[in-house]
Amino acid sequence: MRYALQTPLSREMLDPLRAGDTVLLSGTVYTARDAAHARMAALLDAGGELPFPLRGAALYYVGPTPERPGRPIGAAGPTTAGRMDGYTPRLLALGLACMIGKGKRSAAVKESVVQNGAVYLGAIGGAGALLAACVERCEIIAWPDLGCEAVRRLTVKDMPLTVLLDAHGGDLYESGPAAWLAAQGRE
């Protein structure tokens, strides 16, 4: 199935999604990678507030390249999501609805996705220029000293993504290869 979603996201909006579905995501998307996640955890540990609202948010694991003249952002391909796994269950429990990245996630993240009615969406690695073309606006909102890993607020339109983990326990990294093998008669 193919879905068009607009942030902020709710459980009701994410509930119909299944691993393997296509999503065209529009609205506000925040960016954060490893270093920003460490700072967010330290901020939460100290009782502080994050630089963006988590409830219903979409968080893209990306460190974009510098923008070209006339463009809001440079190439914006995903980074490996597993590096953020240690921080993710806490963020999901605080209301994060959607993560965007590439690669498999840990059992703890998968369990937390289901518990919190969230999703993990996959962006195509190596397609940073295509993904950047979906970005209409980009502004750094926290930790500019982190360079490409600074937290940004993006405004995106029709960003093409694939559901990798759904709120019901579906995992495309498991079901995809199994379906392919079955189609080949090699179950």
Ordered by where they begin, the domains of the chain are 2-183 (3.20.130.10)
Backbone dihedral angles phi then psi of residue 42, each to the nearest 5 degrees: -65, -40
Q: Specify the pTM.
A: 0.94
47, pLDDT greater than 80: yes
- Lowest mean pLDDT, pick from 43-52, 82-91, 146-155, 177-186: 177-186
Cis peptide before 8 (omega within 30 of 0): yes
Strands (E), the chain: 2-6, 22-31, 58-60, 98-101, 119-122, 135-142, 151-165
pLDDT of residue 176: 82
The span from the CA of 16 to the CA of 23, in Å, is 11
Handedness of CA 144, 44, 112, 166 (dihedral sign): negative
Mean pLDDT of the chain: 95
Q: Where are the alpha helices (DSSP H) in 24-87?
A: 34-45
Give percent of the chain above pLDDT 70.
99
> 96 Cβ partners below 8 Å, 6+ apart?
54, 57, 59, 88, 116, 118
